[in-house]
């Protein structure tokens, strides 16, 4: 699909059940038009990874995902040689009395393609969406390498040569900010900070994602979560938690929130024991009373 | 696009750069080409396009929003004033209490810093060995301005080295656990595919990140200036990231100002950034701020945390206890440096220290140059000593034993 306006992109995302802010839609649209990577930052659970998935399905192309972690290296990000096959090949040749030649042993048929190489090779046909997830988890060495790949979209394998594409993939990079990503990399990208949604936006998200949730429950849950985000908690609940909680409460056949069920299911939204203890009981009841007075 | 609009756009870019945003011509060109794809008439789209291209840090978003709002509206009479407000706010956001790092001047000559720099080198050269020894063991708090200048010089010669940790990245090495298949196979080709020598890889080591959280409250005032020098020197000497924070009633991150090459300018900028010089002490609250806002961003990767404070806390003790425990869980080693520990009759009895002690790995003095040298030794050997220390009590004694500078201690 080729988008001709930001409005069109925004409503197409809506059809895919993703409620995008105008700013996010603008960034995405420009990322597509300018062929620049999109760098998404935000707290955990605000739908950063989801953006890449939606883009892949909107563009009707493949999603290639590279999950980052410390020590991620070329062998796991770009390519690796298939050693077992290489050894088999040597033995097979040996059995027929021939010698293995280095050039044939390090040829394309023995190459294992990892996400970055896949993305660049496939781009020649139809650019995929390349999701580089949680870049902050990788180390500086990988970041430097990535900067190189993202500037020319080419990869050099000593034994084979340089593989490049003039038609770069759509790149989405996400970060949770557990570490500052280097400015040089950010400079190459379009930047967007995904904030927690407003009450209305979040309610809309709950309704689109989980239409089976009773209207009253959805409103109360959203109100409750929004109130929690005002609190001094170690880890605030994201939209992902709102949706998890709604799913859980729908599964428990709840029509509305009550203090007992809130206390029992707090674990779905708060992930630190300190936070659970702080909210459980009085605090939860207080919030409930407030939203019932205001929301209903 | 009209020429007038382009002119304004470039002007806007310059304004943002003045405000401290990282804007370069490439970015501006990107913005110009982005405008082909959006309707400029739609103010919101133009706003978001400019924002996504020109800002790449969350901290700068609010500033950009305000600057945009001010720049792209019809000028009014108050316009100038509001601009000045914005510019000034970027540099410092509030009243500045006279910062001690600037206050202390060499008393004999009131010349500029350049001449005092020259004089320093003379002191440095003429100082004899015994003078140096005396100075090494003299308490920072009792030094004259001249002595403290000399100590700063000597401080800059300290060798800093934080012990390493194994990373998850590998390199060719001597280990015998991880096989390097690529090399092994390549070498085997020389012998017609028969593997004679196995190649191995080993984990690469990297120095641990260091986080310094220094107390600059009133009771620490006598040490503040020298300690800032010490932090600056450490940051400049170490290869790995060093994050620096100061607090008295609230926490301020001073990592960025300390990055400047010129020491005097760096300290001056720190002085402008921090608003609570020589204020009260609220260690608990400050550590909480650190845990909530910074821990996830700067800890990790086996970080070593140095807290420099005398432990005179006027805040909530339970809070301090809780936050110390949290901090301890999130770092590799937690070291508390206390200048009072250098005094012969000091016992860690203050509420603050008592609350913090159970979670401290190493409790060390930091009152003279010798103690800093001991710290340097300790930092370079954290991996081994961490396990040998059973708890804070024991490490406290170790700290005292290490310290052999004439002040006799009763452990």
pLDDT tens profile A208-249: 999 999 999 999 999 999 999 999 888 899 999 999 999 999
Residue contact B52–A26, C-beta within 8 A: yes
User: Which range (A105-114, B53-62, B103-112) has the least confidence?
Assistant: B103-112
- Per the prediction, chain A carries an average pLDDT of 90
pLDDT in tens, A15-71: 999 999 999 999 999 999 999 999 999 988 899 999 999 999 999 999 999 999 988
C-alpha B365 chain-centroid distance? 20
Q: Which residues of chain B neighbour A183 with C-beta distances below 8 Å? A: 22, 56
**Cα–Cα distance list, B356 to A295, B247, B326, B361, B386 (Å):** 44, 16, 11, 11, 18
Q: What token pair was written down for B49? A: 């396009």
Q: Percent of chain B scored above 70 by pLDDT? A: 78
Whether pLDDT at B406 is above 50: no
Whether pLDDT at A143 is above 80: yes
Could you tell me if B196 lies within 8 Å of chain A, comparing CB atoms? no
Q: Which residues of chain B neighbour A69 with C-beta distances below 8 Å? A: 168
Residue contact A27–B48, C-beta within 8 A: yes
Q: Which residues of chain B neighbour A180 with C-beta distances below 8 Å? A: 297
Residue contact B57–A191, C-beta within 8 A: yes
Give me the pLDDT at residue A22, please: 92
Task: Output DSSP code: residue B405.
Answer: S
Give me the pLDDT at residue B101, please: 44
Nearest to B155 by CA among B100, B237, B220, B213: B237
- Burial (CB count <10 Å: 0-12, 13-18, 19+), residue B78: exposed
Give me the pLDDT at residue B95, please: 35
Chain A interface, mutation test: which of B34, B56, B287, most A Cβ atoms within 10 Å? B56
Residue contact B57–A86, C-beta within 8 A: no
User: Which range (A149-153, B106-110, B276-280, B315-319) has the least confidence?
Assistant: B106-110
User: Which range (A95-109, A124-138, A162-176, B103-117) has the least confidence?
Assistant: B103-117
Q: What is the mean pLDDT of residues A246-260?
A: 92
Residue contact B52–A190, C-beta within 8 A: yes
Task: Tell me the pTM.
Answer: 0.78
Residues in contact with B131: Cβ distance below 8 Å, sequence separation at least 6, in sequence order: none
User: Which range (A284-288, B179-183, B288-292) has the least confidence?
Assistant: B179-183
**A 86-145 residues inside an 8 A Cβ radius of B:** 86-87, 90-91, 93-94, 99-100, 102, 105, 139, 141
Nearest to A57 by CA among A25, A17, A6: A17
- CB contacts < 8 A (A, B): 103
Residue contact A34–B48, C-beta within 8 A: no
Whether pLDDT at A110 is above 60: yes
List, edge to edge, every strand of the sheet that includes A129-133: A63-67, A129-133, A170-175, A38-42, A190-194
Q: Which residues of chain B neighbour A87 with C-beta distances below 8 Å? A: 185, 193
Could you tell me if B193 lies within 8 Å of chain A, comparing CB atoms? yes
Q: Which residues of chain A neighbour B58 with C-beta distances below 8 Å? A: 41, 177, 193
Residue contact A83–B181, C-beta within 8 A: yes
Between B400 and B170, name the one with better pLDDT: B170
Residue contact B169–A177, C-beta within 8 A: no
Residue B409 pLDDT class (50, 70, 90 cuts): very low
Q: What token pair was written down for B409? A: 């201690």
DSSP B86-127: HHHHHH--S--PPPHHHH---SS----HHHHHHHHHHHHHH-
Q: Percent of chain A scored above 70 by pLDDT? A: 99
Between B131 and A64, name the one with better pLDDT: A64
Chain B interface, mutation test: which of A105, A191, A278, most B Cβ atoms within 10 Å? A191
Q: Which residues of chain A neighbour B30 with C-beta distances below 8 Å? A: 34, 36
Residue contact B51–A23, C-beta within 8 A: yes
Which of B22, B61, B169 is nearest residue A73 as measured by Cβ atoms? B169
């Amino acid at each position: 699909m080729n988008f001709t306006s930001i409005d069109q992109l925004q409503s197409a995302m809506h059809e895919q059940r993703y409620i995008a802010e105008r700013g996010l839609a603008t960034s995405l649209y420009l990322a597509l038009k300018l062929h620049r990577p999109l760098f998404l930052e935000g707290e955990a659970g605000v739908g950063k990874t989801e953006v890449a998935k939606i883009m892949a399905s909107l563009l009707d192309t493949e999603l290639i995902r590279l999950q980052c972690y410390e020590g991620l290296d070329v062998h796991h990000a770009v390519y690796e040689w298939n050693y077992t096959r290489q050894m088999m090949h040597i033995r097979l040749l040996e059995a027929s009395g021939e010698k293995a030649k280095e050039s044939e042993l390090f040829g394309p048929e023995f190459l294992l393609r990892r996400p970055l190489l896949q993305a660049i090779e496939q781009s020649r046909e139809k650019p995929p969406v390349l999701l580089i997830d949680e870049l902050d988890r990788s180390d500086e060495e990988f970041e430097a390498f990535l900067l190189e790949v993202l500037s020319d979209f080419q990869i050099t394998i000593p034994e084979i040569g340089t593989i490049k594409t003039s038609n770069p993939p759509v790149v989405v990079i996400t970060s949770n900010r557990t570490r500052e990503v280097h400015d040089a990399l950010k400079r190459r990208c379009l930047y967007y900070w995904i904030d927690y949604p407003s009450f209305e936006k979040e309610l809309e998200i709950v309704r689109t994602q989980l239409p089976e949730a009773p209207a009253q429950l959805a409103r109360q849950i959203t109100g409750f979560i929004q109130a929690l985000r005002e609190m001094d908690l170690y880890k605030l609940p994201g939209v992902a938690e709102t949706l998890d909680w709604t799913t859980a409460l729908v599964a428990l056949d709840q029509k509305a929130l009550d203090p007992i069920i809130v206390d029992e299911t707090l674990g779905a939204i708060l992930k630190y024991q300190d936070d659970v203890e702080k909210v459980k009981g009085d605090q939860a009841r207080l919030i409930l009373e407030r939203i019932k007075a205001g929301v209903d | 696009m009209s020429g007038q609009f382009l002119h304004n756009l470039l002007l806007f870019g310059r304004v943002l750069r003045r405000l401290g945003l990282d804007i370069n011509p490439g970015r501006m060109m990107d913005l110009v080409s982005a405008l082909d794809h959006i309707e400029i008439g739609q103010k919101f789209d133009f706003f978001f396009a400019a924002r996504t291209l020109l800002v790449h840090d969350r901290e700068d978003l609010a500033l950009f929003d305000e600057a945009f709002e001010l720049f792209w509206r019809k000028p009014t009479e108050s316009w100038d004033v509001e601009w000045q407000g914005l510019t000034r706010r970027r540099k410092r956001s509030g009243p500045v209490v006279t910062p001690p790092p600037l206050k202390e001047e060499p008393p004999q000559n009131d010349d500029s810093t350049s001449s005092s720099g020259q004089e320093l080198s003379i002191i440095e050269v003429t100082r004899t060995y015994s003078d140096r020894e005396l100075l090494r063991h003299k308490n920072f708090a009792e030094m004259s301005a001249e002595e403290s200048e000399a100590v700063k010089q000597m401080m800059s010669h300290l060798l800093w080295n934080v012990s390493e940790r194994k990373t998850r990245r590998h390199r060719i090495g001597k280990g015998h656990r991880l096989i390097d298949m690529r090399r092994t196979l390549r070498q085997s080709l020389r012998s017609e595919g028969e593997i004679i020598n196995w190649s191995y890889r080993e984990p690469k080591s990297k120095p641990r990140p260091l986080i310094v959280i220094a107390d600059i409250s009133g009771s620490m005032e006598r040490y503040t200036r020298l300690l800032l020098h010490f932090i600056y020197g450490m940051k400049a000497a170490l290869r790995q990231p060093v994050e620096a924070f100061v607090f008295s009633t609230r926490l301020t991150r001073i990592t960025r100002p300390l990055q400047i090459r010129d020491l005097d300018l760096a300290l001056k900028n720190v002085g402008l950034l921090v608003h609570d010089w020589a204020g009260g002490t609220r260690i608990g609250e400050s550590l909480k701020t650190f845990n909530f806002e910074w821990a996830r961003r700067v800890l990790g990767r086996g970080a070593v945390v140095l807290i420099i404070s005398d432990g005179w806390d006027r805040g909530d003790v339970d809070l301090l206890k809780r936050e110390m425990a949290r901090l301890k869980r999130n770092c590799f080693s937690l070291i508390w440096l206390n200048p009072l520990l250098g005094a012969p009759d000091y016992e860690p009895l203050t509420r603050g220290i008592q609350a913090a002690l159970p979670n401290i790995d190493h409790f060390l003095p930091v009152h003279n140059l010798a103690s800093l040298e001991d710290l340097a030794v300790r930092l370079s050997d954290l991996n081994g000593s961490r396990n040998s220390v059973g708890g804070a009590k024991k490490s406290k004694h170790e700290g005292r034993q290490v310290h052999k500078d004439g002040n006799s201690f009763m452990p």
